[in-house]
Chains A and B, each alone.
Chain A
Amino acid sequence: MSEAAPAPARAPLSDQVMIDMQGVHKWYGAFHVLKDINLTVHKGERIVICGPSGSGKSTTIRCINHLEEYQRGQIVVDGQALTNDVKQIERIRREVGMVFQHFNLFPHLTVLENCTLAPIWVRKLPRQEAEEIAMRYLKRVKIPEQAGKYPGQLSGGQQQRVAIARSLCMNPKIMLFDEPTSALDPEMIKEVLDTMVALAEDGMTMLCVTHEMGFAKTIAHRVIFMDGGEIIEQNSPQEFFSNPRSDRTKLFLSQILRH
């Protein structure tokens, strides 16, 4: 991927804490899916989460915008404690953008309408202003010419870029990515990763579940390895890839770096 592009500056980080997860546990019925997750993310920090399938990566980041409930521990997002209060949850979700593996664009709305929906109905912006913002972000993800089309008429890579633009239109402080390139054909992965790198260069706080290790090396401040619902290891990308500490990390890296 973009080896040629200069790596965005990784230091110094602001000491403002954007996400603080303390002792988070979650169960699906009797199944203990998250075990004592502790994670602090600073403003402008970029974190890549990796780990085998079923290790709880998605569940972890979905707790941050309360798409999943958790039973123990606490999460503070941008200074606001995540409670079960619906209004509070909606307030936090406005500040946290999320990009899904399967894009989840709204198929009955045009690309532009996908992008203006939340600004109009949640942020209460006038339509015209929302459209201006949407066009600005569609330009940034390099598909302004598709604004009038429906998602079903776009390629996977284009759809994922629209999904990123849709989130950005809410002007979020944090972006969560859940395997944004896993459902894409190989030739489309780069266009989405490039979009994410550009976002990183602008200083966005990002949590990204991905197995694109080149991407992790280029932009991440920290790589987190999860297995069995636990954070096994976290380190800077250099240390993480060249000098993994646990056996499970070594095994995982040997498996995904082989191909």
Chain B
Amino acid sequence: MAEPHVPHPDLPPPASAVGALGWLRRNLFSSPLNIALTALALYLLVTLIPPLLRWALLDATWSGEDRAACRVNSGACWTFIRVHFDQFLYGFYPEAQRWRVNAVVLFLIFGAVPLFLRSVPDSLKLRWGLGLLLAFPVVAFLLLRGGLGLPVVDTSSWGGLLLTLVIAGVGMTAALPLGVLLALGRRSDMPAIQTLCVTFIEFWRGVPLITVLFMSSVMLPLFLPAGMNFDKLLRALIGVTLFQAAYMAEVVRGGLQAIPKGQIEAAAALGLGYWKSMLLIVLPQALKLVIPGIVNTFIALFKDTSLVLIIGLFDLMNIVHNATTNPEWLGFSTEGYVFAAAVYWLFCFGMSRYSQKLEKRLHTGHKR
């Protein structure tokens, strides 16, 4: 007769592997080198943090309306930021019309709420998102630019964070679909389309964004017929979009290459045509794979918007720079740039965190 098998009981892990002490030992004091690095890091923190805190918070000035207020304390003069805050947000957008900018932001926030609710089913989210994607640009353009009874605010007076967000937002929403099309074109069976896409991608990747912006604002008008002069912002938007689309195309192509041929064959065998099999089968998987790359491109784009200062657009960076050269507020460029850096960081970090959450949520179990 066979002996019954008694399963080995599950034992708790040894104490040194768990708990706070275990964590400390493993991560901070596991070897002489690790101990030395821990000590060095502690030393740096101790020497750097207190003066930074003193400058930014303890000895800083917040009140007052002019630079005289900042003579007393030795720390940062946040008064400079406070006084210019609205300008940093809206640029030279007329004060009486700034509610329109706020309305656009509110429209976007409330419009986007359903997209972030867990209780809304994905299919509805998709339709809602597409609707928002179509409706938002129209509403935003009408509100920001004017018309239909609203006084027109010329794009030359748009500025600050508003302008940064407009360039980044348009750049992202236009560059992604364009990049997807370019990536699909580059993998097309049709030689003409393939050549066209490769040429486009390699051209735009081969020139610096600064050159693109210069060309769009200085050289393009030379080629256009006299009298035909379109908006400087529009030209910058087109330049930024085409430039980023080329990068996006390569990111997306990486994702397309990772999709096994069997997926396309299975879709084809079910009778799905090219576009349906791309839209329903290949792209959802490919884009999910390259979320980190897409967000990386978005973040680069967000920061690259600051280059429009060289063609005389007053985005966040340029408007802060402009304020620091104001004779009444000379000497506060550190505060200005720290503020600008903090705003850029906030947005970029936000995008990064959101992408990580998205990646986790879209994970559907291990693949074969």
Contacts and interface: CB of A to CB of B under 8 A. Distances in A.
Contacts of A65: 268-269
A39 interface: no
Contacts of B260: 104
Nearest to B284: A108
A97 B288 CA distance: 28
Contacts of A34: none
Contacts of A90: 271-273
B364 A170 contact: no
A65 B267 CA distance: 12
Contacts of B269: 65, 67, 93, 96-98, 167
Interface residues of A, number: 31
| Contact residues on B (Cβ < 8 Å of other chain), bracket | 20 to 34
Contacts of B288: 108
A121 B276 contact: yes
Given A121-B280, A150-B365, A152-B366, A104 B271 contact: no
B262 interface: yes
B368 interface: yes
Contact of A153 (B262, B273, B285, B365): B365
A104 B262 contact: yes
A107 B367 contact: yes
B266 interface: yes
A104 B368 CA distance: 9
B270 A104 contact: no
B263 interface: yes
Interface string A95-122: 0111010111111100000000110011
B112 interface: no
B273 A86 contact: yes
A166 interface: yes
A150 B285 CA distance: 14
Interface string B267-311: 111111100100011001100100000000000000000000000
Contacts of B262: 100, 102, 104
A94 interface: yes
Contacts of A159: 368
Given A107-B285, A121-B276, A94 B271 contact: yes
Contacts of B367: 107, 152
A117 B268 contact: no
B231 interface: no
Contacts of A166: 270
Contacts of B265: 67, 100, 104
Contacts of B273: 86, 90
B367 to A, nearest CB: 5
Contacts of A170: 270-271
A105 B266 CA distance: 8
Interface string B124-140: 00000000000000000
B266 A100 contact: yes
A157 to B, nearest CB: 13
Contacts of B268: 65, 67, 93
Given A106-B281, A108-B284, A152-B367, A117 B266 contact: no
B368 A102 contact: yes
Contacts of A167: 269-270
B284 to A, nearest CB: 5
A133 to B, nearest CB: 14
B276 to A, nearest CB: 5
B364 A150 contact: yes
13 contacts: A65-B269, A86-B273, A90-B271, A90-B272, A93-B268, A100-B265, A102-B262, A117-B272, A118-B272, A122-B276, A159-B368, A167-B269, A170-B270
The 3 closest A-B pairs by CB, nearest first: A152-B365, A104-B266, A118-B270
Given A107-B364, A117-B280, 7 more contacts: A98-B266, A100-B265, A104-B263, A106-B281, A118-B270, A122-B271, A170-B270
Interface of B: 260, 262-263, 265-273, 276, 280-281, 284-285, 288, 362, 364-368
